[in-house]
């Protein structure tokens, strides 16, 4: 299996609905197979689309485990916090046990400077301590998340993996620190590229004209372009675009 499933919708609200359906379907499958569902979230513009999951009934929230594909090393109440954004958009309103929301340890991030390394080490150790019925490993020892809800920047970055950055070629540990992010704040943590690629399904969303040019480049790319980190994502990939986001396809 593998390849792009590209779905285009008229409006951003329809993209949010499609994102909700896809996520709920992945959750039902994972929970029926092993009793838990793992989803890892990006920050940025993706967060607003999570609202499509609000108010959904018949969702087995108690077996969801939520992670972040990247995080800025700031306290949770900082406007830059990806966790904080997701809490406001969705997670504060659904009954996922708080112990199953895997936020970074904010006590390590009271100052952004110097926070990335200890924060990445702590997050990496916490993920590695999870039992395999929650977070299974593949034959390479990598975690297999059920679903990644990814964003991408206008430069093609995913998670906090930026164009031509040396981190794109680092395979271990699972969670990497970055202290020189070209997009502020500079200190962040991020899934490694092999961890991204080991996930079962990766979902990209592209909403609005601002995403159109890069979405088209990524979808049409032959892969392995280190100038466009999103082109390095492999496996089962679902694209959800609204009409402006799809306008350059």
* Closest C-alpha among 81, 80, 92, 79 to residue 53: 92
Residue 48 near ligand LXAUTJHC by CB under 6 A? no
Q: Residue 192 interacts with ligand LXAUTJHC (CB under 6 A)?
A: no
Cβ proximity to ligand LXAUTJHC, 59 vs 212, nearer residue = 212
Which residues in 52-71 contact ligand LXAUTJHC (CB under 6 A)? 70
Rule CB under 6 A: say whether 106 interacts with ligand LXAUTJHC: no
Q: Please provide the DSSP assignment of the chain as one string.
A: --EEEEEE-SSHHHHHHHHHHHHHHHHHHHHHHHS-EEEEE--TTHHHHGGGGTT--S--GGGEEEEESEEESS-TTSTT-HHHHHHHHTGGGS---GGGB----GGGGSSSTTTHHHHHHHHHHHHHTS-TTTS-B-TTS-B--SEEEE---TT--BTTB-TT-GGGG--SSSEEEES--SSSSS-EEEE-HHHHHHSSEEEEEE-SGGGHHHHHHHHH--S--TTSGGGG--SEEEEEE-TTTTTT-
Rounded to a whole number of angstroms, the minimum distance from the CB of residue 53 to ligand LXAUTJHC is 18
Contact call for residues 193 and 202 (beta carbons, < 8 A): no
Stretch in the footprint of ligand LXAUTJHC (CB under 6 A) among 27-35, 41-49, 122-130, 193-201: 41-49
Instruction: Please tell me whether residue 8 binds ligand LXAUTJHC under the rule CB under 6 A.
Output: no
Does the protein bind ligand LXAUTJHC through residue 20 (CB under 6 A)? no
Task: Examine residue 151 and tell whether it contacts ligand LXAUTJHC (CB under 6 A).
Answer: yes
Lookup: tokens for 204? 């990209």
Stretch that binds ligand LXAUTJHC, among 36-44, 50-58, 140-148, 218-226 (CB under 6 A): 36-44
Closest approach, Cβ 106 to ligand LXAUTJHC, in A, equals 16
Residue 183 as a binder of ligand LXAUTJHC (CB under 6 A): the answer is yes
Piece in contact with ligand LXAUTJHC (CB under 6 A), picked from 5-13, 93-101, 129-137, 145-153: 145-153
Interface with ligand LXAUTJHC, residue 42, by CB under 6 A: yes
Q: How many residues bind ligand LXAUTJHC (CB under 6 A)?
A: 12
């Amino acid at each position: 299996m593998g390849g792009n499933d590209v779905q285009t919708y008229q409006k951003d609200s329809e993209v949010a609905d499609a994102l909700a359906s896809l996520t709920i379907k992945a959750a039902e499958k994972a929970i029926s197979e092993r009793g838990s569902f793992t989803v890892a979230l990006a920050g940025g513009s993706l967060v607003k689309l999570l609202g499509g999951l609000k108010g959904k009934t018949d969702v087995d929230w108690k077996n969801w485990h939520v992670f972040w594909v990247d995080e800025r090393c700031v306290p949770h109440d900082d406007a830059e916090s990806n966790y904080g954004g997701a809490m406001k958009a969705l997670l504060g309103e659904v009954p996922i046990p708080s112990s199953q929301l895997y936020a970074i340890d904010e006590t390590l991030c009271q100052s952004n400077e110097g926070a990335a390394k200890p924060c990445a080490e702590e997050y990496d150790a916490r993920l590695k301590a999870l039992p395999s019925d929650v977070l299974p490993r593949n034959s390479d020892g990598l975690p297999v998340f059920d679903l990644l809800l990814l964003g991408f920047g206008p430069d093609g970055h995913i998670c906090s993996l930026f164009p031509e950055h040396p981190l794109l070629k680092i395979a271990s540990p699972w969670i990497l620190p970055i202290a020189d992010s070209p997009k502020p704040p500079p200190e962040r943590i991020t899934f490694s590229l092999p961890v991204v690629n080991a996930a079962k399904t990766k979902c990209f969303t592209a909403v609005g004209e601002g995403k159109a040019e890069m979405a088209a480049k990524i979808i049409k790319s032959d892969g392995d372009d280190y100038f466009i980190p999103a082109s390095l994502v492999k496996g089962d990939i679902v694209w959800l675009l609204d009409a402006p986001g799809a306008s350059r396809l």
